[in-house]
Structure 1
Amino acid sequence: MEEPLVEFELTKEFRDRFQEALDQRQSDFIRKTLEDVKPADITGLLYEFNPEEAKYVLDLLAVDVQAEVVRDLDPDTRKRFLKAYPPSEVIVLLNQLASDDTADILNELPIKEREQVLSGLDTELRIQATELLRYEENVAGGLMAKELIKARYYWTVVECIEEIRKQAESVDRFYAIYVVDENDVLLGRVALQDLILKDAKTIVGDITEKGGVAVETYLSDTDVAELMKKYDLESIPVVNVQGKLVGRITIDDIVDVITEQAEAERQAMAGISEQVEEDDSVWRNSRARLPWLLIGIFGGLMNAKFMGLFEAELARITAIAFFTPLIQATGGNVGIQSSSLIVQSLANPDFVDEGLWKRLLKVFFVALLNGIVLSGLVFAANVVLFGEYELSLVVSIALFSVILFASFIGTVTPLILSKSGFNPALAAGPFITTTNDLLGLTVYFITVHFML
């Protein structure tokens, strides 16, 4: 019977007791406490401690658990953490990991230490990691692992199963067997259930699913993620330019890519110009935030200057100043809503091909309906609260126009940025807010000028 998972909760009481045990070097308590805890939970615990304390904790655990914990640390934390390890101990840890994880960690080490560690790895792992280090991190070659199960097309089922037993010693888990020819050119894949159900003398090539989805080593990580999502794959084979099978990418690596991509877009939408973590230096955090904040300041100064052009109208009818926050806030919100939906749709590579004009027309009608409803509500509320029919009409017309313009800007800007090779998520943050603030004031005061 399978044992139930141990629920692990980082309560304040647990942290205090564990810190006390760590300060007093109570190794028996620490070892017993973490005995049935999953490596991923231990990883979360280690963020509470400095590298020396974390190393002391890990040294009390089995080597394979240590390796899993180090693998699961975020890269910045892992760089600091591994400074507490001599190269000889790093070698022991990496020898427990798959080739792709080993290559990722090697890339994070200083060059001298990387060479020392690489030379001490097991022969097969060293060869595999060396090959992976040739690729950039954001392409399929940099994501793939060399460990996989492959079979020759001319083998019988019984020969294939026997070979699987040998190859599986170096593979943690596998979802399919890749079929190749004499030159390792990928021909297709065969499902495990087909091997089990077919007669022992059946030729593997006869039950192979020909073709199938594969990616080249140079394909970007986002394109790989899109393919695996589209075809609902747990793993995908990687081939070189000659079509030879060189590795595979599994779903856990793609989850990391999707998470990093979502984080980058979230930061872009918040107006943060580079990838930063909370524990990065003050200068790095400030540098990432300043560019778009400066743009916001510039936009605010432009707004003030623009309002000064209508000083006469403001002096004559002071009530029009009351509605500038309403106009600006509504325009900004509409723009962000529109741009966010477009950014989300652009994640689908078929978005433009599926009728761009039809989608833009739909956006226009949505804005039209929202504009009618909101401007109608504002008109009625102003008449009731202020009793100024003419002013209420002007504000409502201006608000309706701002909603249409803001929706247009919020829709078109991400498309233009994407077409120009920039991250369209930039359009969903301060850029849209600043632009629509200025646009809203322009429309509002021009409407006031001509109607009042």
Structure 2
Amino acid sequence: MTPFKLTEELVQQIETLIEGQQDKNLMDLTEELHYADIAEIINELNEDEATYLIKLLDSEKTSDVLTELDEDVREAILGNLSSREIAEEIAELDTDDAADIIGELPKEIVQEVISEIDDREHARDIVDLLRYDENSAGGLMAKELVQVNENWSVTRCVKEMRAQAENVTRVHSIYVVDDSGMLKGRLSLKDLLTASTRAAIREVYIPKVDSVNVNEKPEEVAKIMSKYDLEAIPVVDELGRLVGRITIDDIVDVIREEADKDYQMAAGISQDVEADDSIWELTRARLPWLFLGLIGGVGAAAIMGGFEALISQHAILFFFTPLIAAMAGNVGVQSSAIIVQGLANNDLKGSIANRLGKEMLLATLNGIILAAVLLIFTWAWQGSFATALAISISLIVVIVVAGIIGTFIPLFLHQRGIDPAIATGPFITTSNDIFGILIYFWIAKIILGI
């Protein structure tokens, strides 16, 4: 199968067919396309064209397309559909996707859409999911799953599983509950097939099963599923009752969104934005960190002003200021990036003191190697060993301090419940620039005796 590639010619062809209302040609063109590919096309159309194409597709494909659209495009399209039309699309979706889309609708029409869903059990499940915080396992889970009672016979279990599986897109696991709905374990298909038809499920199920609470953070769910290589994980309420399941496709979305957020934060963007967002939204996301950089630059200039006499007598120090600032920023970002990555993957072991000690030794070693090269270069260039020594020793101290700051700040933020990714961007760079320049001129002043 040749991978789909969106081209300007294809988009123009779709637009021409829509303009001419050539519905049959449109259906023929999109019939073999995956719903994700159709969503990619619709994202490139204007609102009227997108709505026209959505209404033309059959409900089963339309519902899947809606889940793949950009949020602003989906919002515009749903705004052009009646409550009944939205309900028809929602009815084709799993409960988790349906709840996500309904949750984006204006509050005044949510109830109208839910009342238009013919499958009342499906509607009740969606309403139940809307109760949970979207940033929780409950807000991420789907209600569709296969569960059996521990007191059932194997024969009844197979019969019930067939009925339940009709409403489940993919059966990852078979969960076992008691009469109160408490999660007891999971059922192996192999054990089920080899057991006596008269045997009770409690005699063959596996009591060990990983699960998460409805209030667990999605990031923690992702860590558990990644650690144990799970394709799906059951979700239980505060009493331990089975209420849903989270599948790997939902977790992939969580991991991608978290990675995008951390990448933007590391780049100095304080909120989730995209390239197509308005200038005002992009400005609001970038300006806080740019303002921080401005303050850092002013602070560095003020510090240099305090060493005006030193600079006037040893002008060479001024030319090495960018190097010192750059090394401080780079080392700080490297250290913080390693710590943030370790925190995200739960790989950090030992106390903060041990971590700081290790980073200090690493920074010292790197600093000595780099300073030795710089000492030789500066001495050969300027012919002044004292000046070369002052710059080189400053570099060692700056690197060590930057490494400590880059290690300590993300650990400190993590303990305070603040996203440590904030420490990999302009925040750590600016702080290390200021400290680096202060240390640089202070040590140079001591060594050169000014």
- The answer on whether the counterparts of 2:324 and 2:395 sit within 8 Å (CA) in structure 1 is yes
Which digits, 9 at most, give the CA deviation of each residue in 1:324-352, with x for residues without a partner?
00000011000000001100011134635
* 1:74 Cα offset (Å): 3.4
Q: What amino acid is the match of 1:431?
A: F
Q: Which secondary structure state, in structure 1, belongs to the residue aligned with residue 57 of structure 2? A: coil
Counterpart position of 1:17: 13
Aligned CA distance change for structure 1 residues 24 and 379 (closer, same or farther; 3 Å): farther
The CA distance in 2 between the partners of 1:439 and 1:97, in whole Å, is 55
* 1:6 Cα offset (Å): 4.7
Counterpart position of 1:170: 167
**Structure 1 counterpart of 2:418, from 418, 422, 425:** 422
Counterpart position of 1:125: 122
Aligned CA distance change for structure 1 residues 356 and 307 (closer, same or farther; 3 Å): closer
The alignment yields a C-alpha RMSD, in angstroms, of 1.7
Q: Does 1:383 align with 2:379?
A: yes
The CA distance in 2 between the partners of 1:92 and 1:278, in whole Å, is 33
Counterpart position of 1:292: 289
- The answer on whether the counterparts of 1:6 and 1:37 sit within 8 Å (CA) in structure 2 is no
Counterpart position of 1:222: 219
Q: Does 1:198 align with 2:184?
A: no
Identity of aligned residues (%): 42
Q: Which secondary structure state, in structure 2, belongs to the residue aligned with residue 237 of structure 1? A: strand
Counterpart position of 1:236: 233
Q: What amino acid is the match of 2:364?
A: L
* 1:279 Cα offset (Å): 2.6
Q: What amino acid is the match of 1:9?
A: K
**Structure 2 counterpart of 1:136, from 133, 137, 143:** 133
The CA distance in 2 between the partners of 1:184 and 1:435, in whole Å, is 54
- Superposition TM-score, scaled by structure 2 size: 0.95
Q: What amino acid is the match of 1:253?
A: D
Runs of 4+ in 1 over 4 A off after TM superposition: none
Q: Which secondary structure state, in structure 1, belongs to the residue aligned with residue 166 of structure 2? A: helix
The CA distance in 2 between the partners of 1:199 and 1:175, in whole Å, is 23
**Structure 2 counterpart of 1:93, from 68, 80, 89:** 89
- The answer on whether the counterparts of 2:137 and 2:217 sit within 8 Å (CA) in structure 1 is yes
**Structure 1 counterpart of 2:278, from 281, 285, 288:** 281
**Residue pairs, 1:31-180, within 5 angstroms:** 31-121=27-117, 122-180=119-177
Counterpart position of 2:396: 400
**Residue pairs, 1:182-197, within 5 angstroms:** 182-197=179-194
Q: Which secondary structure state, in structure 1, belongs to the residue aligned with residue 31 of structure 2? A: coil
**Count of paired positions:** 447
**Structure 2 counterpart of 1:442, from 425, 438, 443:** 438
- The answer on whether the counterparts of 1:364 and 1:407 sit within 8 Å (CA) in structure 2 is yes
The CA distance in 2 between the partners of 1:197 and 1:360, in whole Å, is 56
- The answer on whether the counterparts of 2:231 and 2:248 sit within 8 Å (CA) in structure 1 is yes
Structure 2 gap segments, 5+ residues each: none
* 1:376 Cα offset (Å): 1.2
The CA distance in 2 between the partners of 1:91 and 1:57, in whole Å, is 18
- The answer on whether the counterparts of 2:15 and 2:49 sit within 8 Å (CA) in structure 1 is no
- The answer on whether the counterparts of 1:410 and 1:432 sit within 8 Å (CA) in structure 2 is yes
* 1:119 Cα offset (Å): 0.5
The CA distance in 2 between the partners of 1:173 and 1:217, in whole Å, is 21
The CA distance in 2 between the partners of 1:154 and 1:196, in whole Å, is 17
The CA distance in 2 between the partners of 1:24 and 1:393, in whole Å, is 78
Q: What amino acid is the match of 1:31?
A: M
* 1:361 Cα offset (Å): 2.7
The CA distance in 2 between the partners of 1:348 and 1:9, in whole Å, is 34
Counterpart position of 1:334: 331
Q: What amino acid is the match of 2:396?
A: F
The CA distance in 2 between the partners of 1:380 and 1:348, in whole Å, is 41
- Superposition TM-score, scaled by structure 1 size: 0.95
